[in-house]
Amino acid sequence: MKNLAISLSVAGMLGVNWLAFPAVSAEPEVPTGTEAGNFQIMKATADKVWRLNRNSGEISVCSLDGERLVCTSSTEAIRPPSITYEERKAERKRLDDEQQAKDMEFLDRALAAIRSIFSASQNRANEAPQ
């Protein structure tokens, strides 16, 4: 009777273990549905993984926090610029032209000041008694 009780308890433990730990197959489990092939690993280091969402173009940086995988996305990085390259180039040219005009205005005033000094110096030299 004692052996039967031990056998049943061992069988019960094995049964509980069998229910708690499902069989592990040798082949990796392939995701189904929309997640299948959605992500591509771009780079992996000892503590971080960079993954690309092929559908949205979003890049996530993932790291382990204990047993949890914590991912930070690049939502801001994938947003297209608000202006086109040509508009950006035209704006840059406009700003450069404005700066050049300010610089030329400053140089014109500096040159006028130097001419005024030379003119005043020549006037004093002409007015001075000999």
Q: For residue 130, what are its two tokens? A: 């000999």
CA 16/CA 9 separation, integer angstroms: 10
pLDDT in tens, 24-67: 444 444 444 445 578 888 888 888 888 888 888 788 888 888 88
Q: Are the C-beta atoms of residues 75 and 58 closer than 8 Å to each other? A: yes
The ranges assigned to domains in the chain are 37-79, 83-130
Its pTM surpasses 0.75:
no
Coil, strand or helix: which one is 3? Answer: helix
pLDDT in tens, 72-99: 876 655 566 788 889 999 999 999 999 9
- The DSSP bridge pattern shows strands 39-44 and 68-73 to be unpaired
Coil, strand or helix: which one is 27? Answer: coil
